[in-house]
A = this chain, B = another copy of it.
Amino acid sequence: MEMTQPLASFDPHVIERPLTTVDVVIFTVLEQRLHVLLVLRPDTPEEPFKGMRALPGGFVDMQKDDDLEGCARRKLQQKTGVRSPYLEQVGSWGGIKRDPRGWSATHVYFALLPATESPEDGTPSSDAKWFPIENQRVSVKLAFDHAKLLEAAIQRLRNKVEYTSLPAYLLPEEFTLSDLQHMYEVVLERSIEKSAFRTRVFAANLVEPIDKVRAGPNRPAQLYRLSQPKEIVYFPRTFSPRKI
Contact across chains for A10 and B96 when beta carbons are under 8 A apart: no
Asked if A57 is at the interface (CB within 8 A of a chain B CB), the reply is: yes
Interface of A (DSSP majority class) = loop
Asked if A60 is at the interface (CB within 8 A of a chain B CB), the reply is: yes
Given the known A-B contacts A9-B42, A17-B20, A78-B2, are A94 and B190 also in contact in the complex, defined by CB atoms under 8 Å?
Answer: no
A95 (CB) vs chain B CBs: closest residue? B67
Contact across chains for A66 and B95 when beta carbons are under 8 A apart: yes
Contact across chains for A162 and B237 when beta carbons are under 8 A apart: yes
Contact across chains for B68 and A163 when beta carbons are under 8 A apart: no
Nearest CB of B to A220, in Å? 27
Give complex CA distance A189, B150 in Å. Answer: 36
A234 (CB) vs chain B CBs: closest residue? B159
Asked if A3 is at the interface (CB within 8 A of a chain B CB), the reply is: yes
Asked if A8 is at the interface (CB within 8 A of a chain B CB), the reply is: yes
Give complex CA distance A13, B235 in Å. Answer: 47
Contact across chains for B92 and A46 when beta carbons are under 8 A apart: no
Given the known A-B contacts A91-B91, A239-B188, are A59 and B15 also in contact in the complex, defined by CB atoms under 8 Å?
Answer: yes
A188 (CB) vs chain B CBs: closest residue? B239
Nearest CB of B to A3, in Å? 7
Nearest CB of B to A210, in Å? 26
Given the known A-B contacts A12-B101, A17-B20, A20-B17, are A239 and B162 also in contact in the complex, defined by CB atoms under 8 Å?
Answer: yes
Contact across chains for B58 and A94 when beta carbons are under 8 A apart: no
- Report how many copies the assembly holds: 2
Contact across chains for B89 and A107 when beta carbons are under 8 A apart: no
Contact across chains for B91 and A92 when beta carbons are under 8 A apart: yes
Contact across chains for B60 and A94 when beta carbons are under 8 A apart: yes
Give complex CA distance A61, B46 in Å. Answer: 27
User: Which residues 19-47 in A have Cβ within 8 Å of B in the complex?
Assistant: 19-21, 41-42, 44, 46-47
Nearest CB of B to A142, in Å? 13
Contact with B along A58-83 (1 / 0, CB 8 A): 11111111111010000000100000
Chain A residues within 8 Å of B, Cβ to Cβ: 1-4, 8-13, 15-21, 41-42, 44, 46-47, 54, 57-68, 70, 78, 89, 91-97, 101-103, 105, 107, 162-163, 184, 188, 190, 192-193, 200, 235, 237-239, 241
Given A20-B105, A235-B238, 13 more pairs with CB closer than 8 A:
A3-B59, A9-B44, A9-B47, A12-B101, A13-B102, A18-B62, A20-B94, A68-B105, A91-B91, A94-B107, A162-B238, A163-B237, A200-B239
